[in-house]
Structure 1
């Protein structure tokens, strides 16, 4: 990357991340923009791994109000009703836009084919290629991005920091150099790779969130980390685990142990099912998802991607139960944003999993993530277009090298102390271990924010379960900024 090219891009909005939220924002912007992505488009984006599909109330027996009610129920009292209403009302139009753009949603007898997933009261999940929905949607948007000359994609380029002066964004530091700009959208995804076992790519470590927090941005609901109940048990101790979609249980698969006995209701919300599986495993059992007798088509026809993942470990899902266990899947918390995607730092927006919009509350409803990513990217873009941007000329720009990216200890610490079950001692241990490196290590900062927020929430709600505070109390939100974290020396006193 030459300085001349970066200079030519000065003043353009910068989008950090190339998942569905980032691509949606780029396509909705009415001005030239820049996308930063450490990988080629479509690779290492959690959006591409989404299997189940995208939720929208388009069935004859469905309505946005019913979709909203299911979302609020899953959110365990912390979803923001107005945000939920706005998103579920907009969902049918999102589907129409994606259809217009060329997404080949599956059809049955000419009508769009709708699936059922856990905690949904109606069939409302649109899908592509059985279990390849995220990849198909992403590929459609990638083609549109590549065809638009006004979008500059900087592949192999990472965010190294944000320059904020007098409370306003003045530019972004990248691994390719500095870009002066007064508008940046953080759409860099979640924090899954900070756990030893997760369904997300290894690059999803919360770096964009960490840079925003160091720049003064506020975060919300950081303690709510959703574990998917049924990740494929591959035998590997760490790394990304293939997902066995919620849609498999929606199609009739049941959870059994090594004796072939059921032990929980498979269609409860994700947090309840994940805790039930976790508890059963801790009691010494193995857990399997039995999809040998699904309703409708055979397993390999409905779920070709999952079938291939099973075959890779020597399991034939049409003959064998699938070994599963929970894995970190989705972060409901993130950068605290308003209805337009604005963070607490002027000139800085956030969208998708990097943002906390209030839609998911304490527990995300299945297949609402792609919907939220598309909409929040769109809404942030519309707001960026309406804001008058003025980049202040800088006489000199201080150099900024990348912060430490070593986080070898963090996945083990996060899984042990901020996993499905938590308590005061474990969370304090996590805070002690990560806070001293929070200024220079992105993973350490995110881990410290999760630990501090989880310590503040002395109750059990949704995906956050404290064994020392198992009861639920009155609803409240947790918010933090970098300055709210304890000073490391105080932890030792």
Structure 2
């Protein structure tokens, strides 16, 4: 593969300055920005696409919180710990479930409208792994879009929140003491800030979303290329639990060669009573788990894969024909339109489904206030690993996690600012990594092919070693910049995907057991004696290491 090199020091190009840079426009990023502005800090929001095009808007099912009669945070905690397969940080989960209900109410006060009954009470549904109805939803199956709308409107209503759209974050700037001093980014499009430039800041909050595009088929949008995790690794920050990639069990099957973002069939469809069946109409999840189709996602995904193997087929089916047209139209209008757009009518037909990459349970390692291992660098949302999800995320906990920990990050930054503990305002000597080899854009497809074949739902030492060798081969040739060749967003995305794919594969190879959404064919059993621990990856001087957490 051809490679190019780039300069990331802030000297060339444009520069800007603010108190805090928030990278990402999903629920985590925008909530952080709003809370910081409410405390008087200057905030710059950087988003890779448009402000209203964050990953949050793709969320269908809803946001989980103990809001219903008879439900309690303790019950929510229990369900989360079970789903996490022994690797959740119980303290982090307790923070999530106890602070969650009020955080949702503050979101409603911000302007988000959830589906409610005639008396105004929030309607709640169930999803996999939940023993109670605790999923609040909006627009039937458009919860993420409604939350995004409300937060975007609130940000746009505050003229003091500066926004840079169509900007790809590159690398962290640090001062002489190694503290965060800002970041570099590449702004696309016309304007005074085109090209590579730098933003000096006293703190940086990563809320860049996931890395689903590391696989050929995913529910993630095209911009989910692991940019935040890659930046953190290059900055020397620790990342953890990368091997735990959740494959959503019910993604609309569009054929064996389907690539890119795939239509999601929300777990809420099963929560309302749809059944998983094979071609003969047999409900194969019955008897595999007490919750059948509503078992945690890793169990359902494995059940589907097993049945596909047993029957020699490429997909299973979701049967919601008994709902009838009115329910499909009122409760799941987005999914109904998506299916019909692909020639399938769920009112009268079975929906072909198969697992696809959906959510990264791991990410940049943080504490309960969002701190990473680099001073002044915070992470929140899917890019972060707070310890809430463990080895497998409980359905609809992700929006809640982004909301709760965004508020905690904002509170911590404000407190540190008032205590004089943030990086000083002027850091003229701030530095970033100087030269980074970039892969050519066509490497992206090869990375996705290697990862899908070797590190997908089913993994083994043989398949992952093949993937690791293929990834290493992509950087084996010397860099060739060529005359006049310029770095592009596509080259940076390919390079970021390569780094996170390499780290993910290393962790998955090291963990010799099956746990949560990490399924080893050669090590089919869970091994608490050896592997009830986290794997932590870090990079120094381009050398990536992955080791078990020290206790």
1:491 corresponds to: none
Counterpart CA distance in 1 for 2:111 and 2:249 is 32
What's the offset of the Cα at 1:229?
0.3
SS of aligned partner of 2:223? coil
* Structure 2 CA distance for aligned equivalents of residues 142 and 365 of structure 1: 26
Match of 1:227 in 2: 247
Give the 5 Å matches for 1:141-160.
141-160=151-170
- 1:327 maps to which of 356, 360, 363: 356
Kindly indicate whether residue 62 of structure 2 is the aligned counterpart of residue 53 of structure 1. yes
Alignment equivalent of 1:248, drawn from 261, 269, 273 = 269
Correspondence 1:30-429 to 2 at 5 A = 30=39, 31-43=41-53, 45-110=54-119, 111-165=121-175, 166-176=177-187, 177-235=197-255, 237-264=258-285, 265-282=292-309, 283-285=311-313, 286-294=315-323, 298-387=327-416, 388-389=421-422, 390-394=424-428, 403-404=438-439, 406=441, 407-429=444-466
Unaligned 5+ segments in structure 2 are 1-10, 188-196, 286-291, 477-491, 546-551
SS of alignment partner, residue 481 of structure 1: strand
CA 1:48–1:382 in 2, change beyond 3 Å: closer, same or farther?
same
- The more displaced of 343-352 and 160-169 is 160-169
Distance in 1, Cα, partners of 2:474 & 2:378: 26
CA 401–427 in structure 1, closer or farther in 2 if over 3 Å, else same: closer
What count of residue pairs does the alignment treat as equivalent?
A: 484
The offset of 1:487, in angstroms, is 7.3
Which runs of 5 or more structure 1 residues have no equivalent in the other structure? 489-493
Shift of 1:417: 1.1
- Once the two structures are superposed, residues 418-463 of structure 1 have per-residue CA deviations (whole angstroms, 9 ceiling, x without a partner) of 1111111222222222246579711111001101111121111000
Equivalents in 2 of 1:24, 1:218: separation in Å? 24
3-state SS of the aligned residue for 1:202? coil
Counterpart CA distance in 2 for 1:19 and 1:47 is: 5
For residues 175 and 189 of structure 1, the distance between their equivalents in structure 2, rounded to whole angstroms, comes to 18
Call closer, same or farther: CA 1:214–1:18 in 2, change over 3 Å. same
Q: Is the 8 A contact 2:65 2:97 kept in 1?
A: yes
The alpha carbon displacement at 1:6 in A equals 6.2
Normalising by structure 1, what TM-score? 0.93
14-23 or 173-182: bigger deviation: 173-182
Deviations 1:329-369 (A, max 9, x none): 00001000001101001111000000000000000000000
The farther-off stretch of 163-172 and 283-292 is: 163-172
CA offsets, 1:122-176, max 9 Å, x none?
Answer: 0000000100000001100000001112211101111121122432122211114
Q: Distance in 1 between matches of 2:34 and 2:18?
A: 18
- Cα 1:214–1:397 shift into 2, 3 Å: closer
Match of 2:482 in 1: none
- Give the whole-Å Cα distance in 1 for the aligned partners of 2:499 and 2:165: 26
What residue in structure 1 maps to residue 500 of structure 2?
A: 446
Deviates more, 1:296-305 or 1:109-118: 296-305
Moved more, 193-202 or 381-390: 381-390
Deviation at 1:12, TM superposition (A): 2.1
Which of 491, 502, 509 is the matching residue for 1:455? Answer: 509
Secondary structure of the corresponding residue to residue 293 of structure 1: helix
Q: Give the C-alpha shift of residue 10 in structure 1.
A: 1.2
The CA RMSD measured in Å over matched residues stands at 2.3
Whether 1:466 and 2:542 are equivalent positions in the alignment is no
Give TM-score scaled by structure 2 length: 0.84
Q: Distance in 2 between matches of 1:463 and 1:349?
A: 26
Distance apart, 1:182 and its partner CA: 2.9
Change (3 A) 1:397 1:211: closer
Contact 2:66 2:72 in 1 (8 A): yes
- Residues 160/90 of structure 1: CA separation in 2 closer, same or farther (3 Å cut): same
